[in-house]
Amino acid sequence: MAAFWLISIVVLLLFSGESDANPAAPPQNQLDATKKKPLQTFRPYNIAHRGSNGELPEETTEAYLRAIEEGADFIETDILATKDGHLICFHDVFLDATTDVANRTEFADRKRTYEVERQIGTGWFVVDFTLRELKSLRVKQRYSFRDQQYNGKYQIITFDEYILIALYANRVVGIYPELKNPIFINQHVKWSDGKKFEDKFVETLLKYGYKGEYMSEHWLKQPLFIQSFAPSSLIYMSHMTNSPKILLIDDTTVRTQDTNQSYYEITSDSYLAFIRKYVVGIGPWKDTIIPPINNYLGPPTDLVERAHSLNLQVHPYTFRNENLFLHFDFHQDPYLEYEYWIDEIGVDGLFTDFTGSLHRFQEWTAIA
């Protein structure tokens, strides 16, 4: 682990090439948040979903550096655990969709069938690979209609490496890690010290100095939102850290992985009033806030209004530029979609695959 740390620091120093940066400057200058441009807090947050993954393979150093360059307020990631207990940034519990694992003959016998969140799946699962093995894989773009030229070039990164990217950025950039599939991870990965996935996740954040309530002085230096679809994990972690948490909310047909609650239960007034003791906001799928009809927006639900009346933020996911993701109301124009969600619906943060587009929209409309 220490070796990965050092390598990442060196790599990040090489990559953090601001033209006016002094290469001899000691690293602590790059880490001193008081000397950096602060996080903007006057407009909805630009949350770079899996980095700038509209352009580069998701959750890689390159995708995160691009997102920072393009104006992200937060870089977003998904945390999973390896067979040997390391925390990594990776979205799927299986490796098939975004790595070259299927082509690697040495791992041919590693294919398994598991139940994940009440669904049976067959593939190569991250929990059956050590960190060293995962580092030997190369990642690729998830969608065939996005740029394929970076396939095979980049590696999976660790939670530590991801945090260092944010800490070494030339302005204050927040992190927004998701504790991914905690039920599945705790079933398959055991730590020698008897700790759970949630413990390891929070310990990593504390190790790098992430702490403090939303908008506290310390939070503004190292902004963090912890996110999860599992309410019991968020409640558990709230006993270990006071960092702000976001409850993710899935499609209306999906029950929570841990408490087996329906969408309607967890978005009820009484549940929101309960979970508000543990979270500062919710992260719903945008099509559940405004269910589309024949790819046109239907009438908006009152979820945003109800959440706001309880002082809960709303950070919907996921905004994507491509035509196939844009409802017809927006005339194939992603800027119109941002205008609608920011100005009409009034959300507090947006998970986007195209941080650069959201940033430009917010800059243009700030001048107007």
Ligand X SMILES: *[C@@H]1O[C@H](CO)[C@@H](O)[C@H](O)[C@H]1NC(C)=O
Structure tokens at 266: 């967890």
Shortest distance, position 28 Cβ to ligand X, whole Å:
40
Closer residue to ligand X, CB minimum distance, 79 or 95: 95
Q: Which of 47, 63, 46 is nearest to 141 (CA)?
A: 63
For residues 227 and 179, the answer to whether their CB atoms sit within 8 Å is yes
Options 140, 195, 276, 306; binder of ligand X; rule CB under 6 A: 140
**Total residues binding ligand X (CB under 6 A):** 6
**Which residues, other chains included, contact 220 with Cβ-Cβ below 8 Å and sequence gap of 6+?**
33, 38, 39, 41, 172
Binding of ligand X at residue 119 (CB under 6 A)? no
Options 100, 203, 250, 329; binder of ligand X; rule CB under 6 A: 100
SS3 112: strand
Binding of ligand X at residue 103 (CB under 6 A)? yes
Options 19, 105, 260, 270; binder of ligand X; rule CB under 6 A: 260
Taking residues 261 to 290 in sequence order and writing x for each that binds ligand X by CB under 6 A, - otherwise, the string is ------------------------------
Terminal-to-terminal C-alpha distance of the chain: 49
Binding of ligand X at residue 104 (CB under 6 A)? no
Closer residue to ligand X, CB minimum distance, 255 or 306: 255
Shortest distance, position 113 Cβ to ligand X, whole Å:
19
**Which residues, other chains included, contact 131 with Cβ-Cβ below 8 Å and sequence gap of 6+?**
4, 82, 84, 86, 88, 158
For residues 52 and 354, the answer to whether their CB atoms sit within 8 Å is yes
Task: Classify the phi-psi angles of 294: left when phi > 0, otherwise alpha if psi is within -120 to 50, otherwise beta.
Answer: left
For residues 126 and 82, the answer to whether their CB atoms sit within 8 Å is yes
Closer residue to ligand X, CB minimum distance, 136 or 318: 136
Closer residue to ligand X, CB minimum distance, 96 or 287: 96
Options 85, 121, 152, 209; binder of ligand X; rule CB under 6 A: 152
Other C-beta atoms within 10 Å of 155: how many? Answer: 17
Closer residue to ligand X, CB minimum distance, 260 or 294: 260
Shortest distance, position 346 Cβ to ligand X, whole Å:
33
Closer residue to ligand X, CB minimum distance, 261 or 365: 261
For residues 194 and 145, the answer to whether their CB atoms sit within 8 Å is no
Closer residue to ligand X, CB minimum distance, 257 or 313: 257
Residues that bind ligand X (CB under 6 A): 100, 103, 140, 152, 255, 260
